[in-house]
Amino acid sequence: MKNLFITTFLLLITFISKAQEQFSGNWEPVNRELTIYSKNINILLGDVIIWSYATKLDWINDSSKNPEKIFDKSAYKLRDDIYEQVTYVDNAVLKSVVYNTKNNWKVFKEYKLSKNKQKLVANYSGDWAGKVVYQRKK
């Protein structure tokens, strides 16, 4: 009986971690007017970590596509000052919250994968409401 319980538990853990792996990867926004930040989602042993970043190459691309817009180079870096905490994850939905203690800014996010697993739709609510679509980087 003990072996059956352990086997069932390990099988469940393996299934859950495999189901969540479809969120893993680098995601870039389809519309840079909504956000300059790309996402990197890492899942290791059921722990989900989401990093927001924008690279120097992103800055070069965005400034060349929109020469009339003034860009702040300092914004194009890994955002290590704002932490995105994952509150729920399953094989179809990933929910998180971002809270900035410096200005009490709080946003709830719900990520959903498209059917082909190449687009990630993020619905934002809270201090900013909207929808951002990310595509998987190749």
> What is the CATH architecture of 2-136?
Beta Barrel (2.40)
- Contact between 103 and 125 under an 8 Å Cβ cutoff? The reply is no
Among the listed residues 115, 112, 117, the one whose alpha carbon sits nearest the alpha carbon of residue 131: 112
Considering the entire predicted model, what is its pTM? 0.70
Q: Where are the domains of the chain?
A: 2-136
pLDDT at residue 89, rounded to an integer:
87
* CA nearest neighbour of 45 among 25, 20, 8: 20
Scanning the structure block, which residue is given the tokens 């300059």? 36
Buried b or exposed e, range 21-38, using 16+ CB within 10 angstroms? ebbebbbbbeebeebbbb
Tens of each residue's pLDDT in the chain, 138 residues = 666 656 665 554 554 545 467 888 888 899 878 887 888 888 776 678 887 777 666 666 666 666 676 666 666 666 666 778 999 988 889 999 988 878 888 999 999 998 888 999 999 999 999 999 999 987
